[in-house]
């Protein structure tokens, strides 16, 4: 009896969930409803993903090379970043002044995911495995990273950075 009740509840919840799935509005001249995302957005999203992968690569090269100018050009003036060291939020000025103390010897970036938030904002998720110099106590660190990018005066700037340690 209990199994029948559980099955009935699951069947009911499933049918409710399926009934709630949104549909996209039909294109002009198309009388049938569509539940698929337009194929026109795929190339735009792919180009945007490529753009951010490129910007993030430039960001990490600047960190590795301790290049304040390049790194600073990527960050918004009201940037805030949170790193795994537990020292709290950093402003753009703090992030730039700490760049000289960075000891990233090499890195690998992977697992990019882009979530467009509108024409002037995007959320980017990826992972980084950092390698530190051979004589460092810790040789490798893997972090899960989220970045919020905004378009200001026609330029994409990183507004927020958050990293979480991955074991």
Give DSSP secondary structure letters for 48-68: HHHHHHHHHHHHHHHHHHT-H
Residue 60 structural domain: 42-166
37 in any annotated domain: no
User: What is the model's pLDDT at position 7?
Assistant: 40
Q: How confident is the model at residue 4 (pLDDT cuts 50, 70, 90)?
A: very low
Q: What is the CATH number of the domain that holds 76?
A: 3.10.450.50
Closest CA to 131 of 102, 111, 160, 158: 102
| Whether this model's pTM surpasses 0.75 | no
Contact between 51 and 156 under an 8 Å Cβ cutoff? The reply is yes
User: What is the model's pLDDT at position 155?
Assistant: 97
4 in any annotated domain: no
Total number of domains in the chain: 1
93 in any annotated domain: yes
Separation in Å, CA 54 to CA 73, 109, 112: 14, 11, 11
User: What is the model's pLDDT at position 42?
Assistant: 66
50 in any annotated domain: yes
118 in any annotated domain: yes
36 in any annotated domain: no
């Amino acid at each position: 009896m209990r199994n029948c009740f559980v099955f009935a509840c699951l069947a009911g919840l499933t049918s409710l969930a399926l009934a709630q799935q949104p549909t996209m509005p039909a294109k002009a001249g198309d009388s049938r409803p569509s539940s698929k995302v337009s194929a026109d957005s795929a190339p735009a999203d792919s180009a945007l993903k490529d753009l951010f992968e490129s910007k993030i690569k430039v960001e990490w090269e600047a960190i590795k090379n301790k290049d304040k100018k390049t790194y600073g050009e990527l960050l918004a003036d009201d940037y805030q970043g949170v790193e795994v060291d537990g020292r709290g939020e950093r402003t753009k000025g703090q992030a730039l002044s700490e760049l000289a103390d960075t000891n990233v010897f090499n890195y690998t970036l992977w697992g990019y995911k882009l979530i467009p938030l509108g024409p002037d904002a995007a959320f980017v998720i990826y992972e980084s495995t950092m390698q530190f110099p051979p004589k460092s106590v810790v040789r490798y660190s893997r972090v899960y990273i989220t970045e919020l990018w905004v378009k200001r005066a026609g330029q994409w700037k990183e507004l927020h950075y958050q990293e979480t340690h991955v074991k």
